[in-house]
Structure 1
Amino acid sequence: MTLVTTTDALARFCAGSADSPYVTVDTEFLRERTYYAQLCLVQLARPGEGEENAILIDALAEGLSLEPLYELFRNRAVTKVFHAARQDLEIFATAAGVLPEPFFDTQVAAMVCGYGDQVGYETLVRQIARAGIDKSSRFTDWSRRPLSEAQKAYALADVTHLRRIYEVLARRLEATGRAAWVEEELAVLTDPATYRSDPADAWMRIKTRSNAPRFIAALRELARLRETLAIARDVPRNRILKDDALLELAANRPRTPEDLGKSRLLLREARRGEVAEGILAAIAAAEAVRVQDVPRPPEAPARRAGAEALGELLRVLLKARAEAEGVAQRLIASSADLDRIASEEAPEVPAMAGWRFELFGRDALRLKRGEIALSADGSSVRVVELAPAEPPRLRAGEVS
């Protein structure tokens, strides 16, 4: 197998792939010690079984530039194929501002083709490529050099089997007319905004039980501080402040270094220096915010009467439709989406638009309005049309 360590070697492979209909791509990276993922290895393969058609790119090799790979990513004549690409694309978007076009994700395609919710790569290798993968190198340190032969074999398998998986799924999508469904799903992954992180919004990721304005104002400023410092230092957020410490600080709102010293959950290194100064400044900034200007966490919609029972009926309908059409249920609607459909007059959820509406959303609304019912037919569920209720008949002499 070929381990590429020079820009020239990478450029030759990428130039030779420019006429290929597709290339398969995967990465190995570390994120335990940094804010941004540390790219260690990129695997690349093109159609063809020979060893010359698959390479491992040592992203840590001194002097190596990934620009030839990015140029291939920009080549719209070549489809770039990944499996579960969210984290891979985030690496390229963050490091180089590059996203591959056109792009195909076999996990999304497999969900459309009936392989289940968030189907794993190993499952597709087994079911489509009729092969197995040695898992022993899955959790190894990909930053250590030299790479072992077992590591190389494991990494290469992530793109060589992917060729067969892609070809089978692409044909199936073409045959069923569902290629547009996959393209609709992938639009989010190819939007650069998906990978932008705004420290001002960091507080919204933290689970909290209190919506008190002063608490939220402090939490917002503290989360902004943590995110800003983590980005600047390129360390995980929890190296700056852990979530439980953030919540404690937001609740107690210390004003002085002495107050900070009373915190039970604050890391020792956060009690002094830049972090300590930042905490006190964040609390002061939060106290200066007017109560009416404090953002409110999104509230769960109030459930209307009968919503829980309707939600259960919608789950039955979703399961029936997903099984009948061979599409993963989770791709059509989440459990939270179903609860919103049951509770809200005009729920803004994915199932209310596009192919999901045609497959499920329209009948979900009809079930909600009492226009259809569900009936057991042996081991399956079928939809039953209900006749419109007739208006009450007037007796002689009555006026409507």
Structure 2
Amino acid sequence: MPQTLTTTEALAAFCARAALEPYVTVDTEFLRERTYFAQLCLVQMALPGEDEADAVLIDPLAEGMSLEPLYELFRNEAVVKVFHAARQDLEIFHVDGNVMPRPLFDTQVAAMVCGFGEQVGYETLVRKIARASLDKSSRFTDWSRRPLSEAQKNYALADVTHLRQIYEHLAAELSRTGRTAWMEEELTTLTDHGNYVVDPENAWRRVKTRTNSGKFLAVLKELARFREETAQSRNIPRNRIMKDDVLLELASTKPRSAQDLSKSRLLLREARKGDIADGILAAVERGLEMNPADHPKFDKAPDRSSLNPALADLLRVLLKAKAEEAGVAQKLIASSADLDDIACGGREGLWAHGWRFEVFGEDALRLCNSEIALSAKGQRVKIIKLR
């Protein structure tokens, strides 16, 4: 039967054992349908080995439970913390404990670098590497309800027990192919604290609109800021305050009074009075009073008037050939928009740095500078040096 830790003392004892190991695998179960910030409901951990005591469930909802021993382990740089598709887990730990697990190993990122394709799922890796199958029947259950069923516990533990074999396989493969630095480069972005902070100042950029009017965008920015700050302070989903289509309607109609709000087609009745109504009207006022010089603007679309379609097509052929040679997905190296930018003379982008430049970017620039040519040899593309 899976062991569940429900006291800080038990967690501290397990983390003390983990601190002596080279790595620990970690996963979480959470809910966020009814809250702004994800509600952490369960943490799963496993140490190297096959003993049942090496894998545990941690109940953060247990009375008196503190996760500080876990966060202390996360700060211990002698132990690798292994996750799969870690972004949401990292967000939770950043918000809850202001901690970022280091050093980190993300098996999804590692698998991508090792040629398993883009954003490969955990179930796929379990099948291909661990030669096992997963019971996914408990995936969408309510993890906040107690007691947890045995099916839920077994499902949760499988997410960290198989992860041990997957980690060891992928770590060895990265070492064998000399691509450990590739993965570390990807993890630099993943572990950047800035990725997990939602700034109300920029919340308007999440709202899709084709309107470029400065006054419209100024009001939209203030409305989006108000919605984000209110959702964060009340810990409820932003759409519970107002949906995007309501923001767009209000930015267009620019209501100045409760009577104006009453004419809205989309605003919910309960939002036409009280704190929400007051906040909406204040946000509209701030937007209308904003100095035109401070009006928000969308980032300029790249100028592709000089696009050379033939060169763009050659770059696509080169990318395909280099991606197949490296055994990584094309989209991981460069996007179609990146190729058009390069063909227009653009020299900046993710493709222009690190391992992407080594694999593709350097030859892409050489192709643009007429230093290499492409030819077909059987079913393969061959690069010919011109100078």
Q: TM-score, normalised by structure 2?
A: 0.97
> How far apart, CA to CA, are the structure 1 residues paired with 2:311 and 2:155?
47
> How far apart, CA to CA, are the structure 1 residues paired with 2:54 and 2:124?
24
Is residue 26 of structure 1 aligned with residue 27 of structure 2?
A: yes
Q: Which residue of 2 aligns with 1:62?
A: 63
Q: CA offset at residue 289 of structure 1?
A: 1.1
Q: Which residue of 1 aligns with 2:328?
A: 327
> How far apart, CA to CA, are the structure 1 residues paired with 2:69 and 2:85?
23
Which runs of 5 or more residues in structure 1 are unaligned? 388-400
Q: Which residue of 2 aligns with 1:275?
A: 276
Q: CA offset at residue 353 of structure 1?
A: 1.2
Is residue 16 of structure 1 aligned with residue 11 of structure 2?
A: no
Q: Secondary structure at the match of 1:187?
A: helix
> How far apart, CA to CA, are the structure 2 residues paired with 1:376 and 1:264?
61
Q: CA offset at residue 309 of structure 1?
A: 4.1
Summarize deviations over 1:207-240 as a string: whole Å, max 9, x none: 1101110111011000000000000110001000
Q: Secondary structure at the match of 2:384?
A: strand
> Is this contact kept in 1: 2:307–2:340, CA < 8 A?
no
Q: TM-score, normalised by structure 1?
A: 0.94
Which shifted more, 222-231 or 294-303?
294-303
> How far apart, CA to CA, are the structure 2 residues paired with 1:312 and 1:165?
38
> How far apart, CA to CA, are the structure 2 residues paired with 1:112 and 1:153?
30
Is residue 174 of structure 1 aligned with residue 175 of structure 2?
A: yes
Summarize deviations over 1:348-379 as a string: whole Å, max 9, x none: 21111111111100111122233323333332
Is residue 355 of structure 1 aligned with residue 362 of structure 2?
A: no
Residue identity in the other structure for 2:46: A
Q: Which residue of 2 aligns with 1:108?
A: 109
Query: 1:295–1:12: structure 2 CA closer, same or farther, 3 Å change rule?
Result: same
> How far apart, CA to CA, are the structure 2 residues paired with 1:372 and 1:28?
51
Is residue 184 of structure 1 aligned with residue 185 of structure 2?
A: yes
Q: Secondary structure at the match of 1:135?
A: coil
> How far apart, CA to CA, are the structure 1 residues paired with 2:347 and 2:223?
33
> How far apart, CA to CA, are the structure 2 residues paired with 1:331 and 1:245?
36
Q: CA offset at residue 272 of structure 1?
A: 1.1
Summarize deviations over 1:270-291 as a string: whole Å, max 9, x none: 1111111111111111111121
Q: CA offset at residue 338 of structure 1?
A: 2.5
Q: CA offset at residue 293 of structure 1?
A: 1.6
> How far apart, CA to CA, are the structure 1 residues paired with 2:249 and 2:155?
44
Q: Secondary structure at the match of 1:32?
A: coil
Q: CA offset at residue 266 of structure 1?
A: 1.0
Query: 1:306–1:188: structure 2 CA closer, same or farther, 3 Å change rule?
Result: closer
> How far apart, CA to CA, are the structure 1 residues paired with 2:56 and 2:289?
56
Which runs of 5 or more residues in structure 2 are unaligned? none
Question: Which has the greater radius of gyration?
Answer: 1
> How far apart, CA to CA, are the structure 1 residues paired with 2:369 and 2:268?
55
Q: CA offset at residue 311 of structure 1?
A: 3.1
Q: Secondary structure at the match of 2:63?
A: coil
Is residue 127 of structure 1 aligned with residue 146 of structure 2?
A: no
Q: CA offset at residue 256 of structure 1?
A: 1.3
Summarize deviations over 1:23-56 as a string: whole Å, max 9, x none: 0000000010000000000000010001010001
> How far apart, CA to CA, are the structure 1 residues paired with 2:178 and 2:368?
29
